[in-house]
Amino acid sequence: MKQNKLIIALIAVTIIFTACNEKNVSNSVNNDSLAAKVDSVLSLMTLKEKIGQMTQINLTVIAKGPNKWASNDTMEIDFKKAKRAIVEYHVGSVLNTVNNLAQTPRTWFENISDIQRIAMDSTKIKIPVIYGIDAIHGATYTDGATMFPQQISTAATWNTKHAFNMAKVCAYETRACGIPWNFSPVLDLGIDPRFPRQFETFGEDPLLVTEFGKAMIAGYQGKYSNIGNENVAACMKHFTGYQATISGKDRTPAYIPDNVLYEYHIKSFKAAIDAGAKTVMINSGIINGESVHASYKILTEILRNKLGFEGVILTDWEDINKLCDRDKIAVNRKEAIEIAINAGIDMSMVPYEYEEFTDFLFELVQEGKVKISRIDDATRKILKLKFELGLFETPVTNYQDYPNFGSKQANKLAYESASESITLLKNTNSILPLKKGSKILVTGPNSNTMNSLNGAWTYNWQGKYTDMYVDGIPANLMATYGKDGKSKVILDNLNPKAYNTIYEAFSKSYGPENVNFLPGVSYKKDGAFYDMKEEDIQKVVDASKYHDYILLCLGENCYTEKPGDLNDLNLHKLQLKLANKLSKCGKPIILVLNMGRPRLISEIEPFMSAVVNIYLPGNLGADALVDVISGEVNPSGKLPYTYPAFPNSLSTYYYKPSEVQNNSQGAYNYVGELNNLYEFGYGLSYTSYEYKDIRLERDSLKAKDSLNLSLTVYNSGDMDGQEVVQVYVSDLYASITPDNKRLRAFDKIYIKSGESKKVSFSIPVNDFSFVNNENKSVLESGDFTVHVGGNSKDLSSLNFFVR
Ligand code: BGC
């Protein structure tokens, strides 16, 4: 009997594999035949095998060395451990790296080949493992990968092509490592400048997040999500409301009414689902007292049923355990598993105690507490993903087939994105650009480090080894590069000095004889991201005498997640001290802001002649900065968030009218936009633009119509440039208090000096609907205003009426 079953199983699997062997078959099969294949594999599986598919483990669990976050071990599979997990426990997915550090594509290939060999040769059903990784702004955990600007910088370009390019290059370089699944993009709304992951978002506006998110999905998954060997499956995250906590700290409680979730937070996910996003990761936090991983309503009713998501739902790190260990909504880990799987989780990023997860889930099914149909449903989705990724035919892609890994062309695309993102916030008396030959004193803790240019998720989780990577690897980290040293080849082939710090880029561009560097204050090497030390402030003050300009590079060191939580939004006091001292030297100061969130600078901003926000521009960021400062590039970045002026005045540009209150005697204090330092959408250029002939085709419209708007932008300055035309709409009166205004369209256009360009927009009137307190999307008739301009404050407005 047993024997027969095995023979049938083998025949079935052979049929499946033969069917998949023709090139791209698995990519082009229609849904029906895909479903049939999935079902035939499923029909061969035992309950334990299915549960194994729902289990994701950290690589350290099956690698040589201790199973802990950081060690000094090389990346090598421990066959005994791996067989136990993959063969005995049928584990179907692995994530992350060893020692929390980057590896060469070759090392990746060798390790993933070992894993797949075990899965394909030693198991009964031969289901390939799906490997997942965080490749957030380039292939994070790969030596020599092209590091683009982070998402917040990308959003500051207001040009979605850069999100597409980043994702396309990242997919290619991730596949060059044999990895087919990327935990990106972040579609969270970056509404809170205090939150430690705002830089991972596309900023505060739902439309920007939506449009950039769609571009990234297309870059990752390819046209029509027909995934080939240069694409990866995207994982939109963290569904949903992740960054809207009360405290501004990571993974702390949020209170979000449903209509607010729908109106602002869910839109980008819905668009990504419609664009074919294959997987989703769940918000690790708590909304309205309910851990999101435990929420049947959010996972099944909303994500599955309402939004129609058919892909794989993955937990975030250890989040099922957290239902018990952290949130205290399950009395033990077994109950936590019951709650999460029944809520709709398909795969658990366990990531360590996989025996516990699989055994408990098995018992829960036996006890009837989790239905087998739920297990089948989850397994089906995971198998489907593995088929769609072509893993049955090619369990691991080979780095040798990816000759463009880390190429010049890829780095050029990263540079272009950085140069379009840099945002000029102040330029008193057109002090910028600075002529060649100017004597520049470069100072501040961000002047001479690659860590802060890249931020977290760069060769390491917190990004704190980037300087070492870019400068070659120090002996104490050599252990991670393979005992024979061969895995280091690719890094050696790249010129590690190809990337410049700000100081290096200025020295190269303006000449070493003109540029000097003194840090003034610096980040402590092994401390928390906010730990700083004073170096030589007086020396900087003295040296300023011999220079024409001070380039003051301030901001933050790298961080993400809990380690990046913040108690004070003001810039670090030592940095303020340096700025204050320098402000008395009588030399013009160009303030460069290099940070993951808008830290408060109101105390020093008045003394600055110019302010340039570079956010986290990646490996090519300093080159882009010097090109902007020298005028080779005309800045065209615009803020993707509101830059606050005060710690107690944090609001998005789409605040409610009551945020700005005054009585006729001016007796109340204003809050809201008047207290911002710089508005959302703001950013200066070296040229000037005039908006003319703003016309509406019609000003009385029905719900099914579109608002047709045209205008002409004239470049009245003497430099060619790119302008971001922004269109906002205000619903003047509504049944719940309306947003002040909302971005409804934007376009980035190139205009030569002295020339004009006509721009038109056609925006469906239905876009002006809102989600009311009954959670219904409604369009209410009445008066509206459309505003057009180059930022969210200086706008020309026209009224229209919706019948
Ligand atoms: C983060 C996720 C990430 C995951 C896997 C979590 O701590 O919240 O964004 O994808 O770890 O590394």
Q: Give tens-digit pLDDT for 402-450.
A: 999 999 999 999 999 999 999 999 999 999 999 999 999 999 999 999 9
319 is catalytic: no
Give the model confidence (pLDDT) of 131-159 as tens digits. 999 999 999 999 889 999 999 999 999 99
* Cα angle 645-649-651, degrees, rounded to a multiple of 5: 100
User: Which residues, in sequence order, are CB contacts of 786 under 8 Å at separation 6+?
Assistant: 696, 707, 709, 727, 728, 729, 744, 797, 798, 799, 800
Q: For residue 334, report the distance from its CA to the centre of ligand 1, in Å.
A: 23
- Name the band, by pLDDT with cuts 50, 70 and 90, for residue 8: very low
**What's the confidence (pLDDT) of residue 545?**
97
Residue-wise over 173-191: b if at least 16 C-beta within 10 A, else e?
bbbbbbbbbbbbbbbbbbb
Q: For residue 601, report the distance from its CA to the centre of ligand 1, in Å.
A: 30
pLDDT, mean of residues 777-782: 98
- Name the band, by pLDDT with cuts 50, 70 and 90, for residue 224: confident
Look up residue 52 and give its DSSP letter: H
452: how many CB neighbours lie within 10 A of its CB? 30
**What's the confidence (pLDDT) of residue 666?**
53
Residue type, 636: S
**What's the confidence (pLDDT) of residue 10?**
36
Atom 5 in ligand 1: residue holding the nearest Cα = 317
Atom 7 in ligand 1: residue holding the nearest Cα = 317
Closest CA to 456 of 801, 137, 787: 137
Peptide bond into 403 cis (omega under 30): no
- Name the band, by pLDDT with cuts 50, 70 and 90, for residue 101: confident
Instruction: Indicate the burial class of 38 (C-beta count within 10 angstroms; 0-12, 13-18, 19 or more).
Output: buried
HEC states along 605-648?
A: HHHCCEEEECCCCCCCHHHHHHHHHCCCCCCCCCCCCCEECCCC
Both tokens of residue 264? Answer: 């602002």
* Cα angle 615-619-625, degrees, rounded to a multiple of 5: 55
Peptide bond into 433 cis (omega under 30): yes
pTM: 0.94
pLDDT, mean of residues 388-414: 96
Atom 2 in ligand 1: residue holding the nearest Cα = 316
Mean pLDDT of the residues in the chain:
92
Greater model confidence, 525 or 726: 726
**What's the confidence (pLDDT) of residue 793?**
84
User: Which residues, in sequence order, are CB contacts of 228 under 8 Å at separation 6+?
Assistant: 24, 27, 222, 390
Give the model confidence (pLDDT) of 12-37 as tens digits. 343 333 333 333 334 444 678 999 99
Question: Would the pLDDT of 497 be above 60?
Answer: no
Pairwise CA distance, residues 452 & 532, whole Å: 14
Q: For residue 317, report the distance from its CA to the centre of ligand 1, in Å.
A: 6
**What's the confidence (pLDDT) of residue 16?**
38
**What's the confidence (pLDDT) of residue 479?**
41
Question: Would the pLDDT of 477 be above 70?
Answer: no
Question: Would the pLDDT of 460 be above 50?
Answer: yes
From the candidates 316, 327, 565, 627, give the one annotated as an active-site residue.
316
pLDDT, mean of residues 451-464: 94
- Name the band, by pLDDT with cuts 50, 70 and 90, for residue 660: confident
**Total residues found in the chain within this entry:** 803
Ligand 1 pocket mutation, candidates 242, 317, 319, criterion most atoms within 8 A of CB: 317
pLDDT, mean of residues 668-681: 72
Pocket of ligand 1 (CB under 6 A): 96, 134, 183, 237, 281, 284, 316-317, 561
Question: Would the pLDDT of 473 be above 90?
Answer: no
Q: For residue 174, report the distance from its CA to the centre of ligand 1, in Å.
A: 17
**What's the confidence (pLDDT) of residue 25?**
38
In this structure, of 148-152, 195-199, 226-230, 282-286, the range with the lowest mean pLDDT score is 226-230
